[in-house]
Structures are given as C-alpha cells and as structure tokens.
A and B are shown apart, each in its own frame.
Chain A
C-alpha cells in the first residue's frame, strides 16, 4: 500500500537547525532537497488515490477501487506541468480536482500552463465559467528549458505558450472539479494586443 513514510523521514531530517536556517554545506542542502522530493513524490500517490476515492464517492455514492489516476504538478514553479500540457484538440478533456485544506470557503484564481489557446473551462455542473489566457514570461520559459534538460524523458514536445486562469470556488475542507476542453471560442487572451503599451525589447 502507498504510504508517506519517506515524507515523514525527510521532514524529520529537515528540522535540523542547518536545514531551517540555510547554514548547511551545499551537498547537504542537495540531500535535504532530494529527500523532500522523494517524500513529495511518494505522498503524491497517496493523495492521488485519496482524491480518486472521494471524487468517485461523491458521484457514485460509495468509494470503490479508484479508477481515475490523478497526477500533480510538482514543478509548476518552473512552468512545467505535463498533465496540463496535453493536446485537447482531439476531443479529450482535462479533469482538474482542486482540494482546499482549510476550514473556510475559498475562491482563488488557478493558473495552469496549457498548449492550446482554444479552451473552455466548465464547472462540475457542466456550466462554462470565465477564464483568461496569459502569456508565459520569457524568463520562465528560459528557466523551464534549462531544467527540462534534466528531465528529457518526461519533457513534453511542445512548450506551453499560455497560463490558463480561472476562478475556483472551494468549500471548507473540501474539493471541487473543473473540466478543461477544447472550445470553438478562444479564452479571453488577457487583451495582450490592445493593452501591451510598450513594444517590449524583452520579446526579442
């Protein structure tokens, strides 16, 4: 069975005062990072199974063996998210389950990298909700390209051009589901053409 033992070990080790304050040698800092990454990847499986279970429970009235395989994006900080960088033009849909671990209702703007610009976001009731496309910052693409050399086996072939933003509404200690699929109309493109006030040299 999946468990979180490696995460517990990594978190225990990271309580050392050198880890907390950043006063370790670099090879030790690298080891902290590696152990935390191993722990996070392990916990991702547990959370994925749990989310499958609660999502099925909500729709079927009972928790059977999970049939949906959920993935997370541990490298969103470098705009790298293979599960969301799928081509939706072939009729597939991307299901996003969002979990709120706090005890109050939250509304937050979610941003995920996408490769298609013709996309629509629907809530769990199938109603289309407002969304917005924003271009990836050039610097982010550069950092992503640099690090993706280390993850060539995982790298998707197409670099995403946009962040897709939409507002998620979450109950206390609960989850909601959103579906992203291709659309005939383009999500509003952050009016990048009409309000790009200055011709940025950065784009060169």
Chain B
C-alpha cells in the first residue's frame, strides 16, 4: 500500500504500491499534478468488409485494446546520487525505464517495444497514453517538422466543415519535436527523440504511437505490408525499437523555453569518443 517517490532533485514522480505512476511534483515551480501512463494498441483493419486495409499510409484502427502492466512484480526502483530509475516490464514485449535526473526538471522515459506479436493474425499499432488533469478543451499543439507549434482542435478544421469518420485517425498528427496542451494554469509538454504519430483523443491526455506492425498492404503504392523484420543468421523476428520521450509540466507560459532549448539538445546529443591509454599518460 506504500507509495514510492523517485527523483533526487526538484522533480519527484510518485508511484502507487502497484507500480503505477500517479503524481508529478516539482518543488521549485510548485507544480503538483496527477499523472497516469498506460500502453494500448489499435488493431489494424484487415480490409474484409470494404477494401481499405490499414497499412503504411492508412491508419484505420479496428478497436482499441489496453495492454495491462504486469504490476509490482515487474517494478524495480534504482536510486543514486545522479539519477533515479524505475524499470518496468509492461508485457513480454514492452519494457520501460523512467529516469529522473538530479539536475533536470523533466522525466525521461525509455521504451523498448517489440517484436509486436502477430500470431493472432492482427496487425497492431502500439501507443502510450499519458493522462493528466489539464483541461485543454479539445485543443493541443504539435510541431510542424520541428518548427512552430501549430494549434490542433479535436474533430475540427478551421478551413472546412469536418465530417468525422475516423475519430482517432482523423485527429492524428506527425510529431517530430513534440506536442503539448495547456489550460489556464499549466502546460503539459512531451518531446520525442524520433518521428512518431501523436494526438489528444480525450481532454487531459496526450498519446504517442511508438511502433506498428501491420499484416496487409493498404494498396496505396508500397506493395507490401508494413511488417518489418530483422534477420540475424536466418533467425528472423519483428523489429524491436528503443526510443525515448521526455515529459514535463510547467506553470502556464513557462514551457516554451524548455521545449525549444531541450528539443535542440535532443536533436544534437553530445558526441562521445573513446581512446584507451596506459597509466596516467592521458594528460
């Protein structure tokens, strides 16, 4: 029943005794917010009733399925002077490490997803959802190829009257740098280290599509299903991807500086080079 607090600096993440993220607290900016995180997948449409299947071009989800975390049995906390880490096994093919650094005021989440299982004959598009209490009233903001953040309004286009046929796919946007939402007191931002899909399907929630594996061609020109495999010595498996996203909650109008400066640091990571030397001759 105990809660678990991680973070050696100003930022603390609070987990429930079941290993679920529950709170985000920044003692410097006085931000205290409820946060939840989960994984789910959208089943790829197989094109059986009409001919348009989900594929590389076409996102046409056929149901949303939760991937339940394996809970406290697969939850390990590591603490140290520079950073704290939470290791979680979400399922047999999804792992996650959440890091909170002493000198940083954002949380870093490293996800390992794959090989996406397809023995059930269903293609899957795997997403993570982060839920807060931010009252964004259908509005969220996504970057435009790393440039300006553009306002998006769920189920609405300012240039034409939108007929909503695909309530999820119709609100998805490409994310290259990040996305955020805000209400009258706070901003909730996520930055990514790679191009992904993203949206806000319900108020207070941001989601990222991290990986996908589909079994049908969408007949839009690729000519094969988006079913990437990796073969090592004739041992072929679906692709496993490893990536990071970074989340932060700021008081209103204080998030832009972090999104711009840290976004640049994600894009231009420090370059490491190694050399071996004997004894103390390194000087």
Contacts and interface: CB of A to CB of B under 8 A. Distances in A.
Interface of A: 21-26, 29, 47-48, 51, 59, 68-73, 77-78, 81, 83-84, 86, 91-102, 104, 106-110, 112, 126, 130-135, 137, 139-140, 143, 146-147, 149-150, 165-168, 170, 177, 179, 188-192, 194-198, 200-202
Given A106-B265, A196-B77, A198-B73, A72 B271 contact: yes
Contacts of A23: 56-57, 220-222
Contact of B272 (A59, A72, A134, A190): A72
Given A150-B233, A166-B82, A202 B74 contact: yes
Interface of B: 4, 19, 56-57, 72-83, 85, 87, 89, 95, 97, 101, 103, 112, 220-224, 226-229, 232-233, 235, 237, 240, 242, 261, 264-265, 268, 270-280, 282-283
B177 to A, nearest CB: 15
Contact of B275 (A95, A99, A131, A188): A95
Given A93-B277, A149-B233, A198-B75, A191 B272 contact: no
Contact of A150 (B232, B273, B282): B232
B83 A132 contact: yes
B273 A93 contact: no
Given A134-B78, A167-B82, A192-B78, 14 more contacts: A23-B56, A23-B220, A26-B229, A48-B273, A71-B273, A83-B275, A94-B274, A95-B274, A96-B273, A97-B275, A179-B282, A189-B80, A201-B74, A202-B74
A189 to B, nearest CB: 8
Nearest to B220: A23
B278 A91 contact: yes
Contacts of A21: 56
A93 B280 contact: yes
A23 B218 CA distance: 11
Contact of B279 (A91, A94, A135): A91
B232 A112 contact: no
Contacts of B237: 146
A110 B272 contact: yes
A69 B56 CA distance: 43
B79 A190 contact: yes
B79 A195 contact: yes
Given A139-B112, A140-B112, A202-B74, A190 B80 contact: yes
B85 A92 contact: no
